[in-house]
């Protein structure tokens, strides 16, 4: 080594010391996470508010159309009830006609409520039984379930009415007389009878022979 010494002075370094950060790095990361979280909350609240407004608008439209829906439902109910009374399927009228023929005209027996319902379709038959489209099943599907409530003079009159219905087994079946009560003020007897009504079979119209 000569007297000039090395080209790099290791004892007196001229490198600048690293800058000291007053805020640590983890604080920056935390602040960024908080900002992102706040932004997400603001977006979620704004989206929820818009969705709620759309729900309120739809509910307002539904409320405005509710009257129309109620009117349409009433119309459908009336048409559904009326379709059983038309000339092509007059089993309800036939039930009223036959029932009127067995109620005595004594001035004391009268109906206060009459509930006529179509029975549900018959269940699938076991193997070997007639098919669902057979005439027997078609007639069974036309049977009506009837509940008759009314007033009469005494329990004997109710029994007589039941016997009168049993004399026509082709129309009235499964006749059951319910428990009755006496009205103290009028001395009348409240009765209830449930039965099945078998309407007369529909005879197909005969077509005229071609000339």
Distance CA 96, CA 111 (A): 11
Higher model confidence: residue 119 or residue 180?
180
Other C-beta atoms within 10 Å of 99: how many?
20
- pTM confidence score: 0.51
Positive or negative: CA dihedral 170, 171, 176, 179: negative
> What is the Cα 180 distance to its own chain's centre?
33
Distance CA 113, CA 117 (A): 13
Q: What is the pLDDT of residue 146?
A: 93
CA distances 182 to 71, 162, 173, 189, Å, are: 41, 18, 27, 5
CATH node for 91-122+136-197: 3.30.1360.100
DSSP 150-173: EEESSHHHHHHHHHHHHT-TTTEE
Distance CA 183, CA 193 (A): 18
Q: Kindly report, residue by residue over 53-73, the tens digit of the pLDDT.
A: 899 888 888 888 888 888 888
> What is the Cα 15 distance to its own chain's centre?
86
Q: Kindly report, residue by residue over 118-143, the tens digit of the pLDDT.
A: 876 555 444 444 544 555 555 666 78
In the DSSP assignment, the letter for residue 198 is -
Distance CA 92, CA 136 (A): 20
Q: Is 138 helix (H, G, I), strand (E, B) or coil?
A: helix
């Amino acid at each position: 080594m000569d007297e000039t010494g090395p080209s790099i002075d290791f004892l007196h370094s001229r490198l600048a010391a690293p800058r000291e950060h007053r805020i640590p790095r983890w604080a920056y990361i935390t602040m960024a996470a908080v900002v992102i979280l706040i932004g997400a909350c603001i977006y979620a609240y704004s989206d929820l508010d818009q969705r709620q407004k759309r729900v309120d608008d739809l509910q307002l439209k539904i409320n405005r159309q509710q009257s129309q829906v109620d009117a349409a439902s009433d119309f459908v109910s009336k048409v559904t009830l009326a379709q059983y009374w038309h000339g092509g399927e007059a089993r309800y009228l036939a039930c009223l006609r036959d029932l009127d023929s067995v109620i005595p005209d004594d001035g004391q027996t009268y109906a206060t409520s009459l509930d006529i319902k179509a029975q549900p379709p018959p269940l699938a038959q076991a193997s070997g039984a007639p098919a669902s489209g057979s005439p027997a099943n078609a007639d069974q599907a036309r049977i009506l379930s009837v509940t008759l409530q009314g007033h009469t003079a005494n329990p004997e009159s109710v029994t007589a009415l039941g016997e009168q219905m049993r004399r026509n087994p082709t129309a009235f079946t499964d006749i059951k007389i319910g428990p009755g009560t006496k009205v103290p003020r009028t001395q009348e007897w409240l009765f209830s009878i449930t039965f099945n009504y078998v309407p007369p079979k529909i005879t197909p119209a005969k077509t005229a022979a071609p000339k």
